[in-house]
Structure 1
Amino acid sequence: MSDWKKFLPEQRIAYFSMEIGLTSEIPTYSGGLGVLAGDTIKSAADLKIPLVAVTLLSRKGYFSQSIDDQGRQQESPNQWHPENLLECLPIKTLITIEERDVKIQAWLYRVTSPSRGQVPVLFLDTDIPGNAAEDRRITDHLYGGDQAYRFKQEIVLGIGGARILNQLGFNIRKYHMNEGHASLLTLELLTHGRRPLEETWDERNSWNTQEVTNKCVFTTHTPVRAGHDQFPYDLVERILDHEIPLDLLKDLGGQEHLNMTLLAMNLSQYVNGVAKKHGEVSQAMFPGFHIHAITNGIHPFTWTSPYFVNLYNRYLPSWATEPELLVRVDSIPDDEIWDTHCGAKAYLFQYIAETCGVELDPDILTIGFARRVATYKRGDLIFSDMDRLLSLGEGKLQMVFGGKAHPHDEPGKELIHRMMQNIRQYGDRIRMVYLPNYNMDVASRLIPGVDLWLNTPMRPLEASGTSGMKAAINGVPNFSVLDGWWIEGHIEGVTGWSIGPAPNGNSISQNHMDEDVEDLYAKLENTIIPLYYQDRSGWIRIMKNAIGKNAYYFNTHVMMRRYVTEAYCH
């Protein structure tokens, strides 16, 4: 039996995600969605959950980011070579796009845990001799191209992914769609399980939708309607070759456009949002469905700095596979918590000096803000009143920023430009740096090395927000708008601090900008800065609470146990 065939006998959960972030060397992710998928897979391996993951190869990655002399983002392809890291499997499958046959091959990556659990990850690739030149490019760019290009990618992921699993001989118990990009797999399942026509049935009754529904789980991450993939039916009919009648497809996916979220919801037994608040927001958007909530998490070992790994290993053995042990963090002496954090801080500052030529002061309170750059995340909120910021922060604060804007997101790119202008104009009074090319590797240095993690989204647009969880497991308190996971993890002055008013309702019409800005500055000036400089033991107490009251729970081990017992068991 070939080595890869060892994965075939056991029934598995097929986990589909357009992007998966496993390491920086495999740049098939753009941000939180992909990193969450990678963390999910790693926890499945740790917990020995029988999973197989399916994604796109994205040969040219997302993109590499640089910042030019004018402070503007520049993009270049992030070319990588799958043959150096992955194994090309010998079996291919076939799909039809625009009436052309398109071959798909799968590359295998094994995620292996110290617990000896292993999860196969299949990366789908159309760059195969014999495919038309344009079809060979389908799996080149993550989130690249126009609507037609995106729809072709989703055909490869959903239909091609379901077919390759079948061709390879995987025994699939459930199909879990991580966002709507993979929704077309439901059409393949419908076709595969179609009943033969009988005299008493009409054409539509021959499609066994209930059988497909029983096999599918769907997780939505997008809290606004405009963020859900939708394709016009003239494009769908031109590109997609499938047996599903158009009227049935419209019943399942929407009458005006093919809405991939609606298609997945109509054909899934279990649907969930990624935080309690996000579940409520999604329920308001899709009132005809019952939407559960399973709060996202982070993979404990991946996102804990080497300094804290060594500390936890000494005092809390087995913490990486049993993160609930982090509730015992009080058994670790305060001075060891602080010394460990100072090590992570020095490691970050050395990286900043080498990368950007900027020397930061290890004794100054350092704020971190880094994530995918989009206007709703309000990365420049802290710059709203520069006079006030300089008054309270000069000599007392320094800041580290990072993040990429999508190449087509001009407002996001302009946001980076504005931030760079502030950094250059005021950097002699408050030291600030923007780290280029934010990715998993940069994040693993940046997040543990700052003293305070800032998050300022427009509520309720932060579906979950896992960067703050990565901070917590490294003893970095959160200072955040009450949205996403922070509504659940926040205890004011205990695990960190809130910004602005409490969450109220599911509308985005009231963003509380003025209140948020005032609260941000007031808490920095009157609470956070004095605590950091005048009460070190009080600060360390909050660091420990971030670990013992947040990190012990907000991780993908807890999350995956909930998926197993609530979503996969039926």
Structure 2
Amino acid sequence: MSDKKFNTWQHPYTPNPKYSKRVAYFCMEYAIHQPLKLYAGGLGYLAGSHMRSAYELKQNLIGIGIHWKYGYFNQTSDEFRQMTVQWQARNYNFLEDTGIVVPVYVDRHQIYVKAMYLRPEIFNTVPIYLLTTDIPENDYLAQTITHKLYDGDLAARIAQSIVLGIGGAKVVEALGGADIYHINEGHALPVAFYLYSKYRDLEEVKKRFVFTTHTPERAGNAVHEMWLLEKMSFFNFTPLPEIRKITQVEGDELDYTLTALRMAKIANGVSKIHGEVSRKMWEGNEGICPIISITNAQNKRYWADTDLVKALAVHDDEALLKRKRHLKKRLFETVGDQTGELFDPDVLTIVWARRFAGYKRPDLLIADYERFMALISRKDKPVQIIWAGKPYPLDQHGISTFNHLVRYTQKMPNCAVLTGYELTLSRLLKCGSDVWLNTPRRPQEASGTSGMTAAMNGSINFSILDGWVAEFARHGENAFIIPPVDTSLPLDEQDRIDCQNMYDILENEIIPLYYDHHDKWLEMMKRSMSEVTPYFDSGRMADEYYRLLYEA
């Protein structure tokens, strides 16, 4: 059943003929705007920028996601400033009930999925349809499927994939159908099985199905037992022998990424390095589609500070520096509010902020105790350091690392660990930092887009040479690069070498340049701001998706 108002795609424009093919884009999370808490990290930030640029380019594309009642989680702290997790229900009065309700099966039980509508004019995105099972037609257990993003329960996560993939595909059909079904990461894989159950021909599925992979590590790709997926109705009632035939699975487990690669006509990695890594990861597996590279990007119109951009455009160095100092002071108000510490806007400020995951090494700066203590104890040419980021709420190692950093730096007046790393805080950190530090183990960073938006706001990247940075950075000209380490070495040895190289560059290049040659620092900052766009603006990315993936 559907309201006639919603029985077709509701674009507020006539699509540009270059982008007329009807595309439905499926993603488990979207970072659209601070009030809409439907995201966990980089995957959502990327999807949000894609939806904004698709709107700006007048593309014939819609987003399909999930209306998470409790979002991801609110990251707060207790009386000792140790991280705590808070779940809070939210009602979004700007979402409209489409009247579209579709049935899906979860664990062989029929449940109902309702589509809510985010109008393009609310946040300047293409139309986005957000799915919910939290409706009276369902029993309580079914209602909880769309409560928490990345639920810790395995059966719940599989159910979420079914709702997004099969429920989303049925909503798309209720809206008139699509030419291309694009899944951003493997969560929505049931889309492919829904299409197969409709056409009963893998070649017909491939004509319509494309895939983006974001995970360069095998351990990061979902793998579940076939019997459980069949029991959960993941395959939309296609018999298991037929599923084994089309997916070429002979064992007891199904790999989401490998299966998507076998059912799609084409796929992409999210940077040039990641495309190469992905091809090597999956080479030797029969029946996979071509894997190209479409490097991630972020939406400049949303992320870049307008006054910084204007000052750069008219070559007004005084206005640029004045605005940057103001943005630092604005960030430091948040630091003071959370920690009671007052930072100095004239002091070099380094920020490490992203998802707290082990391979990203948030604690690399403190790995060398003597050099770290010397760094933060400097009276001449001082340094301020800020950390921020959300660990997965069940990742005890990530939470332990976060809490360790809090305890380790709590009495250091020029160090701060902030909670609530969401869109608003992310913007403050990118606008208010001088140096944006990125320390993943190569080659585990698929893209790492936070550095793009930092560069847009006059923060200079200081990074391991991985992901998007390898396509942008020139050491000492628009960024600082920690030289590549031999990845065949033991992890602790890689960490030791990376830490040593990081401190060498920090002590011998970055700090002296900032304090002794500020005119050269300014030129480097301006070069970084100028060179990060247009290539790393998501308009280029959204265009490439149409040309290289959808039209392939």
TM-score, normalized by length of structure 1? 0.89
Deviation by residue 1:467-517 (Cα, 9 ceiling, x = unmatched)? 100111011110011111111111010111111326x67999687212211
Q: Which amino acid aligns with 2:238?
A: I
Q: Which amino acid aligns with 2:292?
A: H
Report the Cα distance in structure 1 between the residues aligned to 2:493 and 2:295, rounded to whole angstroms.
Answer: 23
Deviating more after overlay: 207-216 vs 284-293? 284-293
2:427 paired with 1:444: yes
Q: Which amino acid aligns with 1:209?
A: L
Q: Which amino acid aligns with 1:103?
A: Y
Q: Please, which of 309, 314, 331 is the counterpart of residue 312 of structure 1?
A: 309
2:347 paired with 1:368: no
Q: Which amino acid aligns with 2:9?
A: F
Partner of 2:292: 292
Q: Please, which of 392, 395, 401 is the counterpart of residue 409 of structure 1?
A: 395
Report the Cα distance in structure 2 between the residues aligned to 1:88 and 1:172, rounded to whole angstroms.
Answer: 21
Partner of 2:463: 480
Output aligned runs, 1:412-561, within 5 Å.
412-425=398-411, 427-428=412-413, 431-501=414-484, 512-561=494-543
Shift of 1:344: 1.2
Note if contact 2:53-2:125 (Cα within 8 Å) is conserved in structure 1: no
Deviating more after overlay: 348-357 vs 484-493? 348-357
Q: Please, which of 46, 51, 66 is the counterpart of residue 76 of structure 2?
A: 66
Partner of 2:15: none
The change in CA–CA distance for 1:250 and 1:501 in structure 2 (over 3 A counts) is same
Partner of 2:242: 248
Shift of 1:385: 1.6
What are structure 1's unaligned runs of at least 5 residues?
Answer: 194-206, 317-330
Report the Cα distance in structure 2 between the residues aligned to 1:43 and 1:235, rounded to whole angstroms.
Answer: 39
Q: Please, which of 177, 202, 213 is the counterpart of residue 171 of structure 1?
A: 177
Q: Please, which of 82, 102, 105 is the counterpart of residue 93 of structure 1?
A: 102
Report the Cα distance in structure 2 between the residues aligned to 1:113 and 1:298, rounded to whole angstroms.
Answer: 19
Note if contact 2:271-2:293 (Cα within 8 Å) is conserved in structure 1: yes
Deviating more after overlay: 4-13 vs 363-372? 4-13
The change in CA–CA distance for 1:508 and 1:298 in structure 2 (over 3 A counts) is farther
Report the Cα distance in structure 1 between the residues aligned to 2:8 and 2:140, rounded to whole angstroms.
Answer: 35
Partner of 2:385: 399
Report the Cα distance in structure 2 between the residues aligned to 1:418 and 1:315, rounded to whole angstroms.
Answer: 40
Q: Please, which of 107, 113, 120 is the counterpart of residue 104 of structure 1?
A: 113
What are structure 2's unaligned runs of at least 5 residues?
Answer: 12-19
Report the Cα distance in structure 1 between the residues aligned to 2:159 and 2:472, rounded to whole angstroms.
Answer: 39
Partner of 1:279: 275
Output aligned runs, 1:2-401, within 5 Å.
3-5=5-7, 7=9, 11-82=21-92, 84-112=93-121, 119-167=126-174, 169-193=175-199, 207-240=200-233, 242-253=236-247, 254-255=249-250, 256-287=252-283, 288=285, 289=288, 290-305=290-305, 309-313=306-310, 316=313, 331-393=314-376, 394-395=378-379, 396-401=382-387
Shift of 1:111: 2.9
Q: Which amino acid aligns with 2:27?
A: S
Note if contact 1:471-1:477 (Cα within 8 Å) is conserved in structure 2: yes
The change in CA–CA distance for 1:563 and 1:506 in structure 2 (over 3 A counts) is farther
Note if contact 1:398-1:432 (Cα within 8 Å) is conserved in structure 2: yes
Question: Size of the alignment, in residue pairs?
Answer: 532
Deviation by residue 1:267-314 (Cα, 9 ceiling, x = unmatched)? 111111000111111111111443111110011111113xxx134347
Over aligned residue pairs, what C-alpha RMSD do you find?
Answer: 2.1
Q: Which amino acid aligns with 1:24?
A: Q
Shift of 1:554: 1.1
Partner of 1:321: none
Note if contact 1:298-1:469 (Cα within 8 Å) is conserved in structure 2: yes
Report the Cα distance in structure 2 between the residues aligned to 1:13 and 1:161, rounded to whole angstroms.
Answer: 13
Shift of 1:334: 2.3
The change in CA–CA distance for 1:497 and 1:332 in structure 2 (over 3 A counts) is same
Report the Cα distance in structure 2 between the residues aligned to 1:181 and 1:71, rounded to whole angstroms.
Answer: 34
Shift of 1:152: 0.5
**3-state DSSP of counterpart to 2:64:** strand
Deviation by residue 1:60-108 (Cα, 9 ceiling, x = unmatched)? 10001112244432101032103x1200111210011122110110000
Deviating more after overlay: 261-270 vs 239-248? 239-248
Note if contact 1:8-1:170 (Cα within 8 Å) is conserved in structure 2: no
Report the Cα distance in structure 2 between the residues aligned to 1:265 and 1:386, rounded to whole angstroms.
Answer: 45
Shift of 1:315: 6.5
Deviation by residue 1:317-375 (Cα, 9 ceiling, x = unmatched)? xxxxxxxxxxxxxx513222212211211111122223332200111100011111111
Q: Which amino acid aligns with 2:203?
A: Q
Note if contact 2:311-2:319 (Cα within 8 Å) is conserved in structure 1: no
Q: Which amino acid aligns with 1:537?
A: D
Report the Cα distance in structure 1 between the residues aligned to 2:505 and 2:179, rounded to whole angstroms.
Answer: 50
Seq. identity, %:
34
Q: Which amino acid aligns with 1:337?
A: L
Deviation by residue 1:134-154 (Cα, 9 ceiling, x = unmatched)? 001100000013111110110
**3-state DSSP of counterpart to 1:119:** coil
Note if contact 1:104-1:124 (Cα within 8 Å) is conserved in structure 2: yes
**3-state DSSP of counterpart to 2:484:** coil
Deviating more after overlay: 468-477 vs 10-19? 10-19
The change in CA–CA distance for 1:350 and 1:292 in structure 2 (over 3 A counts) is same
Deviation by residue 1:383-412 (Cα, 9 ceiling, x = unmatched)? 112221232442310111111111110110
TM-score, normalized by length of structure 2? 0.92
Report the Cα distance in structure 1 between the residues aligned to 2:442 and 2:511, rounded to whole angstroms.
Answer: 25
Report the Cα distance in structure 1 between the residues aligned to 2:75 and 2:322, rounded to whole angstroms.
Answer: 33
